[in-house]
Amino acid sequence: MGKRNFYIILSLGVFLTVSLYLYNGIETGAEAIAKRQQYVDELRRKIGSLEQVAEQNGKTIDRLEQQVRQVKVEKSVDFDEDKDKTEEKEQEQEVAPVPVRGNRGNEGMAHIHQVQKHHKPTPPMTDICNIRENISVAHSDLQMLDLYDTWKFENLDGGVWKQGWKIEYDAVKVKALPRLEVIVIPHSHCDPGWIMTFDEYYSRQTRNILNGMAKHLGEKDEMRFIYAEISFFETWWREQSEETRKKVKGYLEAGKLEIVTGGWVMTDEANAHYHSMVTELFEGHEWIQNHLGKNAIPKSHWSIDPFGLSPSLPHLLTSANITNAVLQRVHYSVKRELALKKNLEFYWRQLFGSTGHPDLRSHIMPFYSYDIPHTCGPEPSVCCQFDFRRMPDGGKSCDWGIPPQRITDENVAERAQMIYDQYRKKSQLFKNSVIFQPLGDDFRYDIDFEWNSQYENYKKLFEYMNSKSEWNVHAQFGTLSDYFKKLDTAISESGEKLPTLSGDFFTYADRDDHYWSGYFTSRPFYKQLDRVLQHYLRSAEIAFSLANIEEEGMMESKVFGKLVTARRALSLFQHHDGVTGTAKDHVVLDYGQKMIDALNACEDVLSESLVVLLGIDSTKKMEMDEKRVNENLLPEKRAYKVGQNVVLFNTLSRNRNEPVCIRVDSVDAGIEAEPPVTKQQISPVIEYNEESKKLVVKDGVFELCFLASLGPMESVSLKLVKSTTTSKSEIRTNSKIQVDSSFKSSSVGNGDFIVQNDKVKAEFDGENGMIKKATSLVDDKPIDLNSHFVHYGARKARRKFANGNEDNPAGAYLFLPDGEARELKKEENEWIVIEGDLVRRVFATPMNDLKILQTYTLYQGLPWIDLDNEVDVRSKENFELALRFSTSISSNDEFFTDLNGLQMIKRRRQTKLPTQANFYPMSAGVYIEDDASRMTIHSAQALGVSSLASGQIEIMLDRRLSSDDNRGLQQGVRDNKRTVAHFRIVIEPMSPTSSNKKDERVGFHSHVGHLATWSLHYPVVKMMGETTPKSIASKNLEQELNCDLHVVTFRTLASPTTYEANERSTAAEKKAAMVMHRVVPDCRSRLSLPDTSCLTSGIEIEPLKLISSLKSARQTSLTNLYEGQKSEQFKLQPNDVSSILVSF
């Protein structure tokens, strides 16, 4: 025992020494003081705990040693102290104050305005693989995956609080407690499309809501209002007089009106890709900055309706300097469990930990909904009586049959006691003596009656409650900022610390076994269109910014106006009833048409910009290589004519050497370029005939593939000429298809067959053409894939649950299968293999009934297999189609899904939960692995995914449902279309895992994995150009960036919009935001990159060297609301998404 105590004391000494060294070495300034205090408080707590358990706990030494190692890691990525002090002093002189809070320390000081430091610590490049080891554990107090393992998820009847329990309090003891502060927050949740289109909602309701805000905030001194959706606010603003605009700005300055979150929409968090989340947030914030000014800059996040919550959004929000959040749609059992231990308020920490990344202080509303019956307290029948819009003259009523009463001198005592009782019960669920009541619902405050009745009646209630000293309560109208300021004070006075929490809040259930996993897949046609627009908008943004720099800011404003239109169309669709597929049919069509218009706008911007970059004297617009006849059909490929130019644009910041394929009008076509294109291949075009359900050869059109070598963000114009040297593909098939005599063709039987390139080999089922095995040629170890289609029926039987609730059928939101999936009967069908020097494709039609076309593609030099699935489920009813892979990988009950394309999260199959609970959103990818192998499926669209057995991946493809699921849409999902889904399969041999893998709750793609998803989402842009005398190339970046750096977008800033005669015009600034993402690779993969040159590039970003004509660069907050100092070199923390503002 003596020897053990000696080692304990020694370890404590080492720990204290290193900690004090850090304490003295970290940065100075107000922010640093807060951080030091946090660290000291945490250190004292740990030491006290160690002293108590030293003799009893034999594992103390191991824990201390681990903590010392962590401290050393943190120190290794710290700032240079002297340089940091200089930078901080400079920033204090030129950077606008920024609200910054600490993670764990004195929360009472959390929101003092301080200067934010923008240069973040970056590990040296040589430690890149160690970074992944050091940021794989969040070190949070609450970890959602672990909690799911322990919670029972019992669906109990809690009484008046149906999903909770009977809350009680001691009316005498509350007198001695800190005074209960109640902030009542009027709000109106305005969906930019759902039951009505955006324009219908605006003209019928939202215009009236904002008109009422402008009127009543001026008439009512104590009234307050918060608002979130800038898409509606901008539409309203353009109609207003200067007098009204000045008045509204006054409300913002006085704190009577608050903009919360400030995005273009309240984004979905399951299907939305982080690029589009950044786009919609930036669009809203830029408009706020240009038109409302600094008093409107959002400080808090308001997410009350998205159906499940992702930590990706907090990561982006904190990068934009938003420090608080209110959340609503969280699984009812999760709410109950958190409430039991008063953990509904917490610091939301990223899965990769808090080093260099602030946590987001978050508040989860405890009850069922954000409407007034479910926000004042646990008893909705009581709370509904305090929604004064539901009085007889308001046009609404209470579902519980007891209407509100107008507050008078005669009833105020009774009514005040009723709502005070609800407030007091609600406060029992929180650690501190501050609560808020959202006072609103969907599209509220659209009539004067509501503004007047809510204000007048609550004022009387407040006055009475506040006069009752024995109640020890103070209630008032306020904004979200008012609430968090009160919370700061309460935390400072009580010393009560909030816990940290890591993980996500999927999959959401609002009651019973009603899991909202259906919307992960609903309307997949539009989910795919969303990513097409994302790609072309990003391409247009980058091309325009580069061209505008080339033209010294003189690009035409009408071109920039088209870019703004496209930004707003993509941003609008990120709404939580847009990309989710949960709107009315005619609203979906409206979204679709807006996206088609945006695609056309992007085509115009790309044409104008590439003409500038390539120096082409052209009067004819260039066209994309594909066109869309209307919004509900798949695109058609255009065929290039011999004599035209092929314009290519690489939007990635790294070199690309890969095959590019186009349609041409001649079998004797080829590319002429300088230097010459060394490899070219011509093939027949295979299509699916929906009437005959057969594969056919398209007459008069061929596919030309050639090896393109493109520098970072390089654009080139190549000439399409007659050529007899282009190699011709060979065809083998089990069908009787007729192929052009120019190609060698052979018929074979139905035996299994193999297709391979120099990196990967694939084996296919000879009867139906579906993939069976894949082998990476790195280790030559076959992995069984055994792909097949399965389907679910929709639960029809209506029943009552044990708690008395009625069941609902499946619909747009809910996935409620009628049992386990059933495998679709395999059919003997035709397949065709086309093989050439560059590209090898397999076309298969495994299911005639569903008109399925599968196309597998292997590109020379690339270690993956592309899979395109075309399906049509319109012949079915109450039918949900999935593609399942049953592999030989021993993944047990674990798998990893992405969160918004930004990060990978570990999932664990929960056998205690139903099938629908085990499906998760897949925005961009999923993988399973064992110690030797990993299989990743990258996805170019959002869909639902699960792993229901070891080695299995199941991806939902489409769903057709005849019933409404009683979540407000009032219809099923029957507007299906022929839909395509693009996937990329990567098989990776893996080196042995790290020792702490069992503790990890986060995953990382390899270098190859990151390239696979970026190149899938952002393929080389192909456009048709006019004839030019020779090939042209435009090298737009002087050097490529490191492999771990990704340009999310390169966005030219907008000047304030000019509104004249209800028309708007927006000019481009001579500034652009380069939004960067630094990823972390998993170095265990044994696959190597096709081009490794980016590995030798430094991790630093030097914009003035990348683009020589730039004048200056400075780092800013994500959406450019806060600016840092000028610099020539920038370093990003691993996993950072950050902006660099360049001027030209």
Tokens of 232: 């509606």
Tokens of 1026: 């006019």
For residue 679, how many other CB atoms are within 10 A of its CB?
16
pLDDT higher than threshold 60 for residue 789? yes
Contact between residue 1109 and residue 1142 where contact means Cβ atoms under 8 Å apart: no
pLDDT higher than threshold 60 for residue 78? no
Tokens of 431: 């650690």
pLDDT higher than threshold 90 for residue 114? no
pLDDT higher than threshold 90 for residue 35? no
pLDDT higher than threshold 90 for residue 87? no
Torsion of CA 596, 600, 601, 606, to 10 degrees: 130
The Cα 377–Cα 538 span in angstroms is: 45
For residue 249, how many other CB atoms are within 10 A of its CB?
16
pLDDT higher than threshold 50 for residue 683? yes
pLDDT higher than threshold 50 for residue 983? yes
For residue 1109, how many other CB atoms are within 10 A of its CB?
9
Cβ neighbours of residue 1016 closer than 8 Å, sequence gap 6 or more: 866, 938, 940, 982, 984
55 pLDDT tier (thresholds 50, 70, 90): very low
pLDDT higher than threshold 50 for residue 929? yes
Torsion of CA 696, 701, 702, 706, to 10 degrees: -140
Pairing of strands 1112-1116, 1137-1143: antiparallel
- The pair phi, psi for residue 1110, each rounded to 5°, is -70, 150
pLDDT of residue 1063: 81
pLDDT of residue 999: 80
17 pLDDT tier (thresholds 50, 70, 90): very low
Cα 619–Cα 623–Cα 626 angle in degrees, nearest 5: 170
pLDDT of residue 122: 41
pLDDT higher than threshold 50 for residue 58? no
pLDDT higher than threshold 70 for residue 584? yes
Q: Is 861 strand, coil or helix? A: coil
pLDDT of residue 77: 31
Q: CB-based burial of residue 1075 (10 Å sphere; 0-12 exposed, 13-18 middle, 19+ buried)?
A: buried
804 pLDDT tier (thresholds 50, 70, 90): confident
For residue 187, how many other CB atoms are within 10 A of its CB?
23
pLDDT higher than threshold 80 for residue 545? yes
pLDDT of residue 353: 86
The Cα 543–Cα 530 span in angstroms is: 20
Contact between residue 755 and residue 708 where contact means Cβ atoms under 8 Å apart: no
CATH 3.30.70.3460 fits 745-799+819-964+974-1005, yes or no: no
| Span 532-551, average pLDDT | 98
pLDDT of residue 40: 44
The Cα 759–Cα 739 span in angstroms is: 29
pLDDT higher than threshold 70 for residue 117? no
Torsion of CA 38, 42, 48, 53, to 10 degrees: 180
DSSP symbol at 63: H
Look at the block and give the residue holding tokens 């001198």: 409
| Span 798-810, average pLDDT | 89
Tokens of 572: 């609008």
The Cα 166–Cα 84 span in angstroms is: 54
The Cα 91–Cα 1116 span in angstroms is: 12
Alpha-carbon distances of 1109 from 41, 306, 710, 1038, rounded to whole Å: 49, 43, 21, 11
Beta-sheet strand order (sheet of 879-886): 822-823, 787-793, 879-886, 952-960, 943-946, 920-922
The Cα 624–Cα 599 span in angstroms is: 10
pLDDT of residue 11: 54
Contact between residue 480 and residue 185 where contact means Cβ atoms under 8 Å apart: yes
The Cα 713–Cα 656 span in angstroms is: 10
pLDDT higher than threshold 80 for residue 1075? yes
pLDDT higher than threshold 60 for residue 1006? yes
- CA nearest to 521, candidates 989, 216, 942, 215: 942
pLDDT higher than threshold 90 for residue 698? yes
The share of the chain scoring above pLDDT 70, in percent, equals: 88
For residue 331, how many other CB atoms are within 10 A of its CB?
23
Among 54-58, 396-400, 631-635, 1055-1059, the minimum mean pLDDT is found in 54-58
pLDDT higher than threshold 70 for residue 318? yes
The Cα 23–Cα 1133 span in angstroms is: 21
- The pair phi, psi for residue 1022, each rounded to 5°, is -120, 125
The Cα 782–Cα 430 span in angstroms is: 55
State the catalytic residues: 305
pLDDT higher than threshold 90 for residue 6? no
The Cα 545–Cα 1049 span in angstroms is: 10
Among 226-240, 391-405, 796-810, the minimum mean pLDDT is found in 796-810
Amino acid identity of residue 425, one-letter, is K
Alpha-carbon distances of 21 from 17, 26, 469, 555, 1110, rounded to whole Å: 6, 9, 51, 54, 41
Can you give 869-905 as a three-state secondary structure string? EEECCCCCCCEEEEEEEECCCCCCCEEEEEECCCEEE
Whether a cis peptide bond, with omega within 30° of 0, leads into 507 is yes
CATH topology of domain 522-617: Substrate Binding Domain Of Dnak; Chain:A; Domain 2 (1.20.1270)
pLDDT of residue 104: 34
pLDDT of residue 41: 52
Its pTM stands at 0.90
- The pair phi, psi for residue 763, each rounded to 5°, is -110, 135
pLDDT higher than threshold 90 for residue 389? yes
Among 173-187, 547-561, 563-577, 1007-1021, the minimum mean pLDDT is found in 547-561
The Cα 637–Cα 626 span in angstroms is: 4
CATH 1.20.1270.50-classified regions of the chain: 522-617
pLDDT of residue 995: 62
Contact between residue 517 and residue 917 where contact means Cβ atoms under 8 Å apart: yes
- C-alpha 193, offset from chain centre: 19
DSSP symbol at 44: H
pLDDT of residue 629: 86
For residue 357, how many other CB atoms are within 10 A of its CB?
21
| Span 166-182, average pLDDT | 97
pLDDT of residue 498: 98
- CA nearest to 824, candidates 791, 801, 802: 791
The Cα 454–Cα 456 span in angstroms is: 6
- C-alpha 355, offset from chain centre: 22
The Cα 955–Cα 672 span in angstroms is: 42
Selection from 40-44, 111-115, 154-158, 591-595 with the highest mean pLDDT: 591-595
| Span 887-900, average pLDDT | 99
pLDDT of residue 1085: 96
pLDDT of residue 355: 73
Contact between residue 74 and residue 26 where contact means Cβ atoms under 8 Å apart: no
Q: Which helix (H) or strand (E) is 67 found in, with range?
A: helix 60-76
For residue 171, how many other CB atoms are within 10 A of its CB?
12
Tokens of 834: 């086309």
| Span 818-824, average pLDDT | 97
CATH 2.60.40.1180-classified regions of the chain: 637-728+1018-1036
Buried b / exposed e along 728-759 (16+ C-beta atoms within 10 A): bbbbbbbeebebbeebebeeeeeeebebbbeb
pLDDT of residue 618: 74
DSSP symbol at 388: G
pLDDT higher than threshold 70 for residue 815? yes
CATH for 637-728+1018-1036, options being 3.40.50.720, 2.10.109.10, 2.40.50.140, 2.60.40.1180: 2.60.40.1180
The mean of the pLDDT values for the chain is: 90
Pairing of strands 744-747, 730-733: parallel
- The pair phi, psi for residue 853, each rounded to 5°, is -125, 120
Cβ neighbours of residue 676 closer than 8 Å, sequence gap 6 or more: none
- CA nearest to 959, candidates 525, 651, 381, 465: 525
pLDDT higher than threshold 70 for residue 29? no
The Cα 663–Cα 879 span in angstroms is: 36
E-only strand ranges, 117-194 = 142-143, 180-189
- The pair phi, psi for residue 222, each rounded to 5°, is -95, -5
Amino acid identity of residue 323, one-letter, is T
pLDDT higher than threshold 60 for residue 93? no
| Span 1087-1110, average pLDDT | 95
Largest CA distance in the chain: 97
